[in-house]
């Protein structure tokens, strides 16, 4: 668990310890005498605040801002993050990233992914049960936790959770960023006199906010209300087979500077509801990353 240096001990997690602390690490199973290294409360505060504020400074101008951290947004971020030169910010209104992919459907655990989208799971080394035309991950949370942990370890990705996108920045007909606020503030605008938002510039915005709901489809709804698209056709009733192919087909840069991915597209293009199969979300996310990269090159 630990290696001794001349002045201190470095644990496997890279923490330098000395004296009594070293003893407690060496005897880490001696829980009754377990002793943490001392810390000042202000140190904790400074570590959190400076890192967050530095991230806000760094990502104030991002290459790509992804709105919504559901299965489509996550898959898009994963694909984009392979290019280490890109600065990718993910904005998720919920405290817990993942959207609908913590469960397979209703309250059931297993996640069904139709072939050939199983290749995406292979890339992430997520195990599954193999069936003829589809695969089954034993718990959707296994997908979500694996992709999240691998993604968040990448140095060019920052997740801002508990943060809502309230609006878009648009310049000369091109989407150029997002307007954000703490979600708790967004939900309380009607109870407070004025709480202005923050802004983040982006070369490309990817909107993956899901189908209509309390916050869903917010990207395309805003495009409609400012006249950048004519209308949202509205999601049709469920047809699993048609829906998955449609969502991948419709994934694109909808207006200059804004790519749409996942079930938000069903509201825009009038595609059928998907139901509990996730392959299209993974591949739509991947395709959205390609569309974002193409937009960045223009
Ligand atoms: O919290 C939302 C969720 O995590 C987040 N979100 C929505 N509006 C936002 C906003 N600012 C920040 N204004 C926002 N975050 O977006 C995420 C959307 O994830 P999702 O899982 O709802 O959508 P998805 O398109 O990634 O996956 C859809 C999965 C579904 S729904 C469905 C059905 O109903 O039939 N079938 C499938 C496979």
Residues in Cβ contact with 265 at an 8 Å cutoff, skipping those fewer than 6 apart: 246, 247, 250, 251, 271, 284
pLDDT tens digits for range 22-70: 555 555 677 888 889 999 999 999 999 999 999 999 999 999 999 999 9
| ipTM tops 0.85 | yes
pLDDT of residue 8: 52
SS3 content of the chain, % helix, strand, coil (to 5): 35, 25, 40
Cα 235 from Cα 263, distance rounded (Å): 9
Angle at CA of residue 255, ends 251 and 260, nearest 5°: 30
Cα 8 from Cα 21, distance rounded (Å): 10
Find out whether 291 and 255 touch, Cβ atoms under 8 Å. Answer: no
- Regarding the beta carbon of 205 and ligand 1, being less than 6 Å apart is answered no
Q: How confident is the model at residue 13 (pLDDT cuts 50, 70, 90)?
A: low
pLDDT of residue 130: 98
Of all residues in the chain, the percent with pLDDT exceeding 70 is 91
pLDDT of residue 192: 82
pLDDT of residue 28: 67
Q: For 81-93, what is the mean pLDDT?
A: 98
- Mutation choice for ligand 1 from 209, 269, 280, CB with most ligand atoms inside 8 A: 209
Residues β-bridged to residue 258? 205, 255
Cα 166 from Cα 179, distance rounded (Å): 6
- Give the global pTM: 0.92
93 labeled part of a ligand binding site:
yes
- Regarding the beta carbon of 281 and ligand 1, being less than 6 Å apart is answered yes
Find out whether 224 and 73 touch, Cβ atoms under 8 Å. Answer: no
Find out whether 262 and 213 touch, Cβ atoms under 8 Å. Answer: no
Residues β-bridged to residue 105? 108
pLDDT of residue 197: 95
pLDDT of residue 98: 98
> SS3 for 177?
strand
What's the maximum distance between 2 C-alpha atoms anywhere in the chain?
70
- Regarding the beta carbon of 100 and ligand 1, being less than 6 Å apart is answered yes
Which residue from 197, 200, 255 is spatially nearest to 227, judged by alpha carbons? 255
> SS3 for 19?
helix
Cα 293 from Cα 298, distance rounded (Å): 9
Angle at CA of residue 67, ends 295 and 231, nearest 5°: 75
Distance 14 CA to ligand 1 centre (A): 37
Cis peptide before 70 (omega within 30 of 0): no
pLDDT tens digits for range 260-286: 999 999 999 999 999 999 999 999 999
Cα 203 from Cα 71, distance rounded (Å): 22
pLDDT of residue 279: 98
Q: For 119-130, what is the mean pLDDT?
A: 98
Q: For 248-258, what is the mean pLDDT?
A: 98
Which residue from 279, 284, 285 is spatially nearest to 122, judged by alpha carbons? 279
Find out whether 89 and 77 touch, Cβ atoms under 8 Å. Answer: no
Average pLDDT of the residues of the chain? 92
pLDDT of residue 27: 57
pLDDT tens digits for range 172-226: 999 999 999 999 999 999 898 788 999 999 999 999 999 998 779 999 999 999 9
pLDDT of residue 153: 98
- Regarding the beta carbon of 104 and ligand 1, being less than 6 Å apart is answered no
């Amino acid at each position: 668990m630990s290696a001794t240096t001349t002045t201190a001990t470095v644990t496997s997690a890279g923490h330098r310890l000395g004296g009594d602390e070293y003893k407690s690490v060496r005897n880490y199973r001696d829980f009754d005498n377990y002793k943490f290294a001392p810390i000042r409360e202000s140190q904790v505060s400074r570590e959190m605040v400076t890192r967050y504020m530095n991230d806000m400074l760094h990502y104030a101008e991002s290459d790509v801002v992804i709105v919504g951290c559901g299965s489509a947004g996550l898959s898009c971020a994963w694909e984009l993050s392979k290019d280490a030169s890109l600065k990718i910010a993910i904005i998720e209104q919920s405290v817990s990233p993942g959207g609908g992919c913590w469960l397979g459907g209703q309250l059931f655990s297993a996640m069904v992914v139709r072939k050939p989208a199983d290749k995406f799971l292979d890339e992430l080394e997520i195990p599954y049960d193999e069936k003829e035309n589809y695969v089954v991950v034993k718990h959707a949370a296994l997908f979500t936790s694996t992709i999240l942990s691998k993604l968040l370890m990448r140095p060019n990705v920052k997740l801002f959770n508990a943060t809502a996108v309230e609006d878009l920045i648009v310049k000369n007909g091109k989407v150029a960023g997002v307007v954000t606020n703490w979600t708790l503030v967004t939900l309380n605008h009607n109870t407070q006199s004025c709480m202005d938002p923050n802004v983040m510039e982006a070369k490309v915005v990817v909107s993956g906010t899901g189908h209509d709901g309390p916050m869903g489809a917010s990207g395309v709804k805003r495009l409609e209300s400012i006249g950048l698209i004519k209308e949202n056709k509205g999601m049709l009733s469920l047809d699993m087979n048609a829906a998955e192919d449609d969502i991948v087909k419709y994934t694109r840069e909808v207006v200059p500077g804004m790519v749409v991915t996942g079930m938000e597209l069903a509201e825009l293009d009038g595609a059928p509801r998907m139901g509990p199969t996730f392959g299209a979300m993974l591949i739509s996310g991947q395709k959205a990353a390609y569309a974002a990269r193409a937009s960045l090159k223009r």
